[in-house]
Structures are given as C-alpha cells and as structure tokens.
A and B are shown apart, each in its own frame.
Chain A
Amino acid sequence: MASMVCTDCVYSFVYEPKNALIIASAIAVALFCFIMLKWGKASQRTKIYLIYAHIFAIIFPFVYYAFNSTCAASSSFFFCKNAQQFIYIIILTLLSSITIGYLLTPKLLHLSKSKEVRHPFLSRFIENISKKYDIKKSSLHLVDSAKPFAFSISTIKAHIFISIGLAELLTRKEMESVLLHELGHIKNRTSFLKFSSLLHKAISPFSHFATLNKELGMEEKKADDFAVSAQGTGRFLKSAKRKVEVFEGAYLS
C-alpha cells in the first residue's frame, strides 16, 4: 500500500485544520471508548455499544480520507486515485466480511466439518426445552471429531454443535446438561457478545488492554445456572465438565 499512497496527498489532507480536527476528534472518541471499556462501570449492553463505537472511531479517519482526499499534484493523480480505491476496497471488505461473517459462521462451520442431524432423543429434547423456556428454535449439528466439545451460535437461526467425542463420553443425563448449557447461551444471546469480542480483538490495537473476558466468564456462569435450574441438579454438568477435562489432560500427556 505504501507505494500506492501518495504521501503529499496525505500530508496536505492532514494539515488542513478542519480535517485535522475531525481526525483528532475520532481518535479522542476511540480513546474515550477504550477508557470506558477498561475502567468504566458500564453494563454488558453498554460495553457492546462502546466496542462498536470504538471500532467505528478507529476506522472513521480512513473512511473520511477516502471520501475527501484530493490531490494537489497532478502528476501523482494516478497514485491518489489508486490509494483512494484501495481504501474503499479495504472498508467495503471489512464491513461486508463483518456482516457476512456474523451471518454465515454457522453455514461455514457446517460446510467445513459438521453436518446438521436429527436425532430422535437429542433433537426432541432441544425442541421441548426451547418450547418450555421460550428459546429460539435451534438445529443440532454433529462435528466429526473425537475431542469432546460443544458450542452454540445464534444469528438468524440458532445452531448447537456437538462433537461425536462428546456424545461418546457422556451419559444421557450429562448430555442433557450440556445441551441445556448451550440453550442457556442461546437464551441469553451470548453469541453476539462473543462475536463482538472477537471483532474487537481483530480490529482494535487496544483490545488486549480492555477485553470482555469478565463478561464472557459471567455468561458462562449464567448458562451453567440455567442448566442447573432446568435440570434441578448440577451433578451432571459437573461430571460432564470433569470428563472433558480428563480427556484434554490425557490428550496432552
């Protein structure tokens, strides 16, 4: 990109008082959002808003430059146009990949290593619990892996992924507790928080200093609580977790 950007254009653009003020304001907003994320006592929802405001403030100077850059030197007009187009492409790619990424993640996972299945017991269990607790309808996906794991993604539709290794190791009651935990995530809409956290980590250079780990940990706890209250005991969830830990330990040894 360096060869494509005409430095004269950038300098002349930034040195203009109005542009400098707008860019400085965007940086100030990004920093303010970062400070609020790091030290502020905001709710989870507010933190998600702050993340998107932070990301927008980081991207904004580039968008603004792409829309307003003018080139004084006619000889470098070609390079300016290229740089402008390059920035447009980056912004469009970024925005479209965020949207498509969020909407298509379940489909992409489905294409790569899992398949949607209907199991007489597991699928019916998911349907019954979804009806009982008014949770979005979820489809069950089977991942061809001996490692035991489960996760859920909720976009337009909700999807629960379980590995064959998990189904193999757990008893029926333990499997129910894991499905309840995932349904708890769908009920609490944790997916969007996870996606926002990943996006923040991918885009913001400050993300390592202000993470959403605490909020994500709380979401795990909430999903556990839902599973325990729906099942009436925490015994099965605990033993399922222990089996997964033992497997991971044995795999590493």
Chain B
Amino acid sequence: MKKTKSKLFEKLSPLENGIITILWQCERMYVRDIYNKLKGKRKVALTSIAVNLDRLYKKGIVGRKVEASRGGFRYLYFPAKNQKEYEKDVIDGVVNKLIDRFGRTAVSYFNERFSK
C-alpha cells in the first residue's frame, strides 16, 4: 500500500479541530486570542493551545509569522488553506487511499454509487 505523501490527511485531535475551526472563522489570531476563545467552551491551558498550534503548523494546516509585541515576540497564526480547500484535500486523500488499497473494486463502487 502506498503511503500518503502529505501529513495533511492525518486525523486531527479534538483540540486541533477546535483550533482550526476558530482560525477559519477569524482568519488571523495570536495564541492568547485562541486561548481566550476556547477557554469558555472547554477546560484548556494556554500551553496546550501553543503545543497544538505548533503541531498544526508542522502538519502544514496553519501558517505563522513572527511579530513583535509590547512584552516580547509572538506568532500570528493563520489557516494555510480555507475550510473548503482543506476538506477537498482530506476527501482527495481518503479516496486515493481507498483506490490504493482496493483498486478496481473501489473504482467500480464509486461508479455505482455516483451513477444512482
């Protein structure tokens, strides 16, 4: 079985999902802003947000740039792709995986499924 090249199709944790959903809504945010938005909804620490944002950055799902602030420096995070593009990529990855795994059976299944 062929391995998927991109890390984009890796399953996201619930917290990563929560973070990326907020980023899609607000577009550009600092760690502390995301923390302030999420802490009302669930019990979460600032350090956990920072860790998960770094993981999302390494998976290529979010981008970041450095900005100087009054007290020091911080990252400004933004989604690397919008929600639609990301979803398309995930579906593409899943379909490719199925075709790689099941070959013709998967293709004929899709034909049957979509001809209905």
Restricting to A156-201, which residues have a CB under 8 Å from any CB of B?
162, 164-165, 167-172, 175
**Scoring B residues 29 to 60 as 1 if CB is less than 8 Å from chain A, else 0, what string do you get?**
01110000000000001111011011001000
Closest to B30 in A: A168
* B75-A168 in contact (CB<8A): yes
Residue B74 CB within 8 A of the other chain: yes
Report the bound CA distance from A27 to B70 in whole Å. 58
* A122-B48 in contact (CB<8A): no
**Across-interface contacts of B1 in A (CB, < 8 A):** none
Closest to B55 in A: A251
**Across-interface contacts of B48 in A (CB, < 8 A):** 250
Residue A144 CB within 8 A of the other chain: yes
Count A-side interface residues using an 8 Å CB cutoff: 23
* 9 interchain pairs, CB-CB under 8 A: A117-B68, A165-B54, A167-B73, A170-B72, A175-B72, A243-B47, A247-B50, A247-B51, A250-B47
Residue B71 CB within 8 A of the other chain: yes
Restricting to A207-253, which residues have a CB under 8 Å from any CB of B?
243, 246-247, 250-251
Restricting to A4-49, which residues have a CB under 8 Å from any CB of B?
none
Closest to B46 in A: A169
Closest to B72 in A: A167
**Across-interface contacts of B45 in A (CB, < 8 A):** 246, 250
Residue A147 CB within 8 A of the other chain: yes
Given contact pairs A167-B74, A168-B50, A250-B45, a sample of 10 additional A-B residue pairs in the complex whose CB atoms are under 8 Å apart: A117-B68, A121-B71, A146-B51, A164-B66, A168-B74, A168-B75, A170-B72, A172-B71, A243-B47, A247-B50
* B47-A121 in contact (CB<8A): no
Closest to B71 in A: A172
Closest to A172 in B: B71
**Across-interface contacts of A122 in B (CB, < 8 A):** 72
Query: Contact partner of B70 among A117, A121, A144, A247, CB < 8 A?
Result: A121
Residue A132 CB within 8 A of the other chain: no
Closest to A170 in B: B72
B25, chain A: closest CB distance, angstroms: 21
A-B pairs, top 9 by smallest CB distance, nearest first, are A167-B72, A146-B54, A167-B73, A172-B71, A250-B51, A247-B47, A246-B47, A168-B74, A164-B73
Report the bound CA distance from A169 to B73 in whole Å. 10
Restricting to A102-135, which residues have a CB under 8 Å from any CB of B?
117, 119, 121-122
A247, chain B: closest CB distance, angstroms: 4
* A251-B66 in contact (CB<8A): no
**Across-interface contacts of A250 in B (CB, < 8 A):** 45, 47-48, 51
Closest to A164 in B: B73
* A144-B68 in contact (CB<8A): no
A146, chain B: closest CB distance, angstroms: 4
**Across-interface contacts of B30 in A (CB, < 8 A):** 168
Residue A142 CB within 8 A of the other chain: yes
B57, chain A: closest CB distance, angstroms: 7
Query: Contact partner of B66 among A144, A147, A246, CB < 8 A?
Result: A144
**Across-interface contacts of A165 in B (CB, < 8 A):** 50, 54
**Across-interface contacts of A164 in B (CB, < 8 A):** 66, 73-75
Closest to A171 in B: B71
* A146-B66 in contact (CB<8A): no
* A119-B54 in contact (CB<8A): no
